[in-house]
Amino acid sequence: MKCIIVDDNKMARMALKQLVSQVQNLELVAECSNAMEAYNQLANNGIDLLFLDIEMPEMSGIDLIKKLGAKKPLIIFTTAKTDYAVEAFELNVVDYLVKPITQPRLVQAVEKAQEALDSNKQEVKVEEQGFVFVKDNGMLKRISIEDILFLEAMGDYVKVHTAPKFHVVHATLKSIEEKLPASKFLRVHRSYIVAINKIDFIQEGTISIGKTSIPVADTHKANLNKRLNLL
């Protein structure tokens, strides 16, 4: 992973650089002493990961993330304070490291970042292909992503419902969820994943897709409301 260190404290940058140099899958591209310098670096380089201090003059690390918007790389905050932890995770950062940072703690954070990066690449790959293969009755069958209406867990099996029929797959709902593009599918219940663009209407905690009613668990309602394109 290509990474950048951003910290206005020179000694902190040197200490983190030493730790980063010992992690095999990290390539340090640049060190930046302020957020604006980092912003310019990110515009010109394909950066995967940002080690970002929060309290910096003129533009804070949090301000930088907001300025980058959807174009931001993976973020690991490196800070001397714990005060910003809640706001940091609301910004969907990978991890929050409190100085002084130890090597084991850095490695743990980098592993989380690598998992997130691999997950993103897998999602892009599935969306580009536009289809998945499922093993149904001993046969591998190709299913278009756009044809999937919803998925239903049934013990050790999952029903993949499409418009003409359903396919029974020997798998867990979680394992299938990990292979589907998260931009198009959403878990709404421990037993159901729905294709967001196939929802006809929602009423009293129930989703309707065609003639099928699907329950929405209370634990998933907030996430569902966030994902809907409400007018």
CA distance 166 to 148: 9
In this structure, the answer to whether residues 21 and 112 fall within a common structural domain is yes
In this structure, the answer to whether residues 75 and 173 fall within a common structural domain is no
In this structure, the answer to whether residues 112 and 136 fall within a common structural domain is no
Confidence band for 121, pLDDT divided at 50, 70 and 90 = low
Domain containing 199 — which CATH number? 2.40.50.1020
Instruction: Give the pLDDT score at 43.
Output: 80
Last residue of a domain, one of 97, 127, 157: 127
Instruction: Give the pLDDT score at 46.
Output: 83
In this structure, the answer to whether residues 100 and 165 fall within a common structural domain is no
In this structure, the answer to whether residues 186 and 144 fall within a common structural domain is yes
Instruction: Give the pLDDT score at 107.
Output: 94
In this structure, the answer to whether residues 105 and 89 fall within a common structural domain is yes
In this structure, the answer to whether residues 182 and 117 fall within a common structural domain is no
Span 77-86, mean pLDDT? Answer: 84
Highest mean pLDDT among 112-126, 130-144, 156-170: 156-170
Domain that holds residue 196: 131-227
In this structure, the answer to whether residues 75 and 101 fall within a common structural domain is yes
Least confident stretch, 115-119, 141-145, 164-168, 180-184: 115-119
In this structure, the answer to whether residues 185 and 98 fall within a common structural domain is no
In this structure, the answer to whether residues 81 and 103 fall within a common structural domain is yes
27 CB-near residues (< 8 Å, 6+ apart): 1, 2, 3
221 CB-near residues (< 8 Å, 6+ apart): 205
Residue 174: CB atoms within 10 Å: 12
Last residue of a domain, one of 100, 127, 154: 127
Number of domains in the chain: 2
DSSP string, 81-99: -STTHHHHHHTT-SEEEES
Interval 139-170: pLDDT, tens: 677 788 889 999 999 887 889 999 878 888 88
Last residue of a domain, one of 90, 111, 127: 127
In this structure, the answer to whether residues 118 and 156 fall within a common structural domain is no
